[in-house]
Amino acid sequence: MAFVFYDTETSGTEASFDQILQFAAIRTDPDLNELERFEIRSRLLPHVVPAPGAMRVTGVTVAQLTDPALPSHYKMLCTIRDKLDAWSPAIFTGYNSIDYDEHLLRHAFYKTLHPPYLTNFNGNGRSDVLRMVQATSLFAPDALVLPQDGAKTVLKLDRVAPANGFNHEDAHDALGDVEATIFLCRLIMERAPEVWSSFMRFSQKAAVVDYISEERIFCLAEYFYGRPYCWLVTFMAANPDNSSEVYLYDLQVNPDDLCSLSDTDLATRLGKSPKPVRRMRCNASPILMPVESAPSNLACLELGSDELDRRAELIRSEDALRERLVAAFRSTRQDKEPSPYVEMQLYDGFFSNGDRALMDAFHKASWDKRFAIVEQFEDSRLKTLGKQLIHIERPDLLTEADRAEHDRAHIRKLLGSDGDVPWLTLPKAIQQIDDILAACEEAELALLREHREYLVSWLDRIAALEN
């Protein structure tokens, strides 16, 4: 299967409220030979405040943010969708893509009425090169040079790629970061073939489910706060509310010690280290390796294969214990409160078949017919997002009253008039840039001062409108 390596540069890090400013992707064959590349930028949305820290890192100027020659955010997303559809099926991957870039892309598709889960469906798979690098550090530690910051391993792309010989002059440019990511993949493919094969195999959810169901004991690894952790585990059960999530049992913990605990004590024990139950997303490129590949210093190995087999068999055969463990684990997890903001409601449910058909019809119709399509949506999220989109792209199609209402909402959003809100407002951004200016280097002053002047001028204009 072909690969699509992609990266984004954005206005900030809040996936629900920030926007993609630059998207780049390179399609390769299975041997990582480049077949095609694609890059596109957009201008800033009228209600999105660029984060000063992000602009400092990427070096994006005010002129680039406001360039009228660039496509709108909506037009950019239409182009991205067409390209990625044309490149499917493929394995979609990037550096920290599953936890970052993919969420940004999903939310961008969601807010522009495109199918948000493009990289999951239609035969596509997902992987993440950051997790490949993490796995390589554990299971093939001599394959890559990983920079150190004291006792901590540094895994940032702009540090790892140069440390292994890549000329990363274009760091924090989307296309440059894609090239650096492919470079690292070639090294992993060559120097850590078992790690590479594992990630290729587990780019599909079905393959992960089959493996953990059939393999009695296997190795699970994760990184927390820059540090690697590894466990020998066995499969317990799937989350009944989410088929992509499963529960695994850490064999370091003797299950005999849990059998006599009350339900309350069992729930308390699950929160203590070592934690008996671990949650894993099957569709999120998990780091899985056979038990034979486990690091030799893993404490669990001292138990011996017979004891590990006994514990795994006990968990797999004792339905009552397994059910109690799952119930206790689920009781310790708090339900997430639904957000009042439509931008944060992407994961609140899938759209109906009828609404998905209307979403496609929206993009195919002429603008003068799109408002009527939006009114037909069953899902209130799509109705709200559709009207917001029309207001941004074609406000002349709204009634004067509707247009004024949207205008007022944008002004309140930019000013933060509703109090403590989860997006970046102009007053917050100006405070942030003042803090940065107080401690920045001389070479950054011109860019940051330009951004401050832009933000202050913007704030003055809309404050006058509100009054």
Are the C-beta atoms of residues 115 and 359 closer than 8 Å to each other? yes
Locus of tokens 């554990």: 138
The three-class DSSP label of residue 334 is coil
The structure's pTM equals: 0.94
Cα-trace Rg, the chain: 25
Looking at 215-296, list the stretches that DSSP marks H as alpha helix, in order from N- to C-terminal side.
256-259, 263-270
Amino acid at site 280 = M
Contacts of 191 (CB under 8 A, 6+ apart): 136, 140, 142, 143, 144
- CB-count burial class (<10 Å; 0-12, 13-18, 19+) for 183: middle
Tell me how far apart the alpha carbons of residues 361 and 353 are, in angstroms, rounded to a whole number: 12
Ranges of beta strands (E only) in 138-286 are 148-149, 152-153, 218-224, 227-239, 242-250, 277-281
| CA angle, 48 then 53 then 58, to 5° | 90
Q: pLDDT tens digits, the chain, 467 residues: what are they?
A: 899 999 999 999 999 999 999 999 999 999 999 999 999 999 999 999 999 999 999 999 999 999 999 999 999 999 999 999 999 999 999 999 999 999 999 999 999 999 999 998 889 999 999 999 999 999 999 999 999 988 788 999 999 999 999 997 877 789 999 999 999 999 999 999 999 999 999 999 999 999 999 999 999 999 887 788 999 999 999 999 888 999 999 999 999 999 999 999 999 999 999 999 999 999 999 999 999 999 988 989 999 999 999 999 999 999 999 999 999 999 888 778 889 999 999 999 999 999 999 999 999 999 999 999 999 999 999 999 999 999 999 999 999 999 999 999 999 999 999 899 999 999 999 999 999 999 988 999 999 999 999 999 999 999 887 66
Tell me how far apart the alpha carbons of residues 58 and 60 are, in angstroms, rounded to a whole number: 5
